[in-house]
Amino acid sequence: MNHEGVESLKIRIIGAGIGGLTTALSLAQSGFQHIQVFEMAADLGFVGAGIQLAPNIARVLDRLGVWKEIAEEAVACRDTSI
């Protein structure tokens, strides 16, 4: 299949959750130039909750080049119980 010129495709992503933003960043890093992210929430602020990041997502975020900034804010979780 010929992918020539595919980077000029117009891409629209619905939702600026971690899925939408990761998709947008991955596509931008792959050379796609026209990416729009639509989000219905008026504000993407802090909600005062923690979020647990498993090793698999940490590896993906590291490959995308954004892990260092996250790690600076993170606390290493040494024990869990459910």
Question: Among residue numbers 10 through 29, which ones bind ligand FAD (CB under 6 A)?
Answer: 14-20
Instruction: Report the C-alpha gap between 16 and 71 in whole angstroms.
Output: 21
Among 81, 79, 54, CA closest to 70: 54
Instruction: Report the C-alpha gap between 80 and 37 in whole angstroms.
Output: 35
Our finding on whether 41 is near ligand FAD (CB under 6 A) is yes
Q: 1 or 76, CB closer to ligand FAD?
A: 76
Residue 49: CB minimum distance to ligand FAD, A? 7
Residue 26 corresponds to which amino acid?
S
Q: 3 or 12, CB closer to ligand FAD?
A: 12
Residue 5: CB minimum distance to ligand FAD, A? 28
Q: 17 or 65, CB closer to ligand FAD?
A: 17
Longest dimension (CA), the chain: 51
